[in-house]
Amino acid sequence: MGKNTVSFDFRDSRVVVTGASGGLGSAIAAAFAGAGASVALHYRSGRDRAEAVIAGLPSPGRHVAVGAEATSESEVALAVGRVREWAGGDGVDVLVNNAGTYPASPILELDAAAFSGVVDSSLLAAHLFTRGLAPLMAPGSSIVNVASVEAHRPARGHAHYAAAKAAMVQYTRSCALELARLGIRVNCLSPGLLWRDDLPAAWPTGYAAWTASCPAGRAGRPEEFAAACLFLASGSASFVNGAELIADGGALCVSPQDPATWSAVR
C-alpha cells in the first residue's frame, strides 16, 4: 500500500463474501474481518480452503463457512437460510458478489454449457445471492459486485466471461435503481490482473504482456482490490451508488497502438 492509507471500521457488521474459498474472495473476507466484521465465507467445492481462511482470521469463532453451488436456486436458498441463522435479528450489512470462473475457450468452440457455466457462475450467482439476502439488509447496507476490466476490454477466449462481466456492471446499476427504496447501495468493483504467487509460471505470456503494458507495471495485490471493495461498502462511500470502481493500475488507459510507449515512460 502507498502513503496516506485509510482504515475502515466494520465492527458490528455482518458481511457475506461469495467465492471466499478463492484468491480474491479470501482476501476480501480477511480485509473485512481485519476491520472488525463478522464474515460468512461462501464456497462451492473449497470447504477446506474456506475453513482454513477462517482459522487465520481474528476471532475465528465469529465467522462461518457456507457452501452452495451459486447457480442453483435451491442451494442458494439453503445458504441464505444458513446466513439468516448466523446473522440472527441483526441481518446482513454487506454482500460481496465475488464468485466466478474464467476458463478460456475460442468462440467457435464454445458450447452452450461452457458459455452459460461461466456467465451463470458470476452473473446469475450475483442475482441469486442479491435476491436472497437483500431482504435481510437494513437501510445503510451495501452490495459490491465483482466484475472485471474485461467488461471493457475482452481477452481472447473470454467472450463468455467478458460478456458476463459487462452485464455485471449493468446489473449493478439496475440493482442500485431498484434497491434504493430499501436503502441499499449497490456498486461494482472491476479488478485488473490479480497477483498470485504462481501467476508468472502459470500464465507466462499473459503475465508478461500485462506487466509490459500496464502503467503500474505489475499485477494488483489482493489487498489492494480488497481495500477498494471495503471503500465501496463503507459509509465513506455513502453517496456512491450504481458506480463502477476500476482498479487496474491504469491498464485500460493504454492505447492499443503503442503499449510499449507507456511502459517506457513509466
Ligand X SMILES: NC(=O)c1ccc[n+]([C@@H]2O[C@H](COP(=O)([O-])OP(=O)(O)OC[C@H]3O[C@@H](n4cnc5c(N)ncnc54)[C@H](OP(=O)(O)O)[C@@H]3O)[C@@H](O)[C@H]2O)c1
Contacts to ligand X by CB under 6 A: 19, 21-25, 43-46, 69-71, 98-102, 121-122, 125, 146, 148, 191, 193-194
We find the least distance from the C-beta atom of residue 162 to ligand X, in angstroms, to be 10
Return the closest-CA partner of residue 256 out of 169, 155, 176: 155
- 102 is an active site residue: no
Q: Which residue, 193 or 230, has its beta carbon nearer to ligand X?
A: 193
Which residue is associated with the grid cell 482459522? 55
- Cα distance between the two ends of the chain: 18
Cell of 110: 464454445
In angstroms, the CA 239 to CA 242 distance is: 10
Q: Which residue, 38 or 71, has its beta carbon nearer to ligand X?
A: 71
In angstroms, the CA 164 to CA 159 distance is: 8
In angstroms, the CA 62 to CA 129 distance is: 21
Q: Which residue, 180 or 195, has its beta carbon nearer to ligand X?
A: 195
Which residue is associated with the grid cell 475502515? 8
Which residue in the shown chain puts its C-beta closest to ligand X?
Answer: 22
Q: Which residue, 35 or 96, has its beta carbon nearer to ligand X?
A: 96
State the burial class of residue 266 (Cβ atoms within 10 Å of its Cβ: 0-12, 13-18, 19+).
Answer: exposed
We find the least distance from the C-beta atom of residue 240 to ligand X, in angstroms, to be 20
Options 43, 102, 161, 207, the catalytic residue: 161
Cell of 14: 455482518
Catalytic amino acids? 161
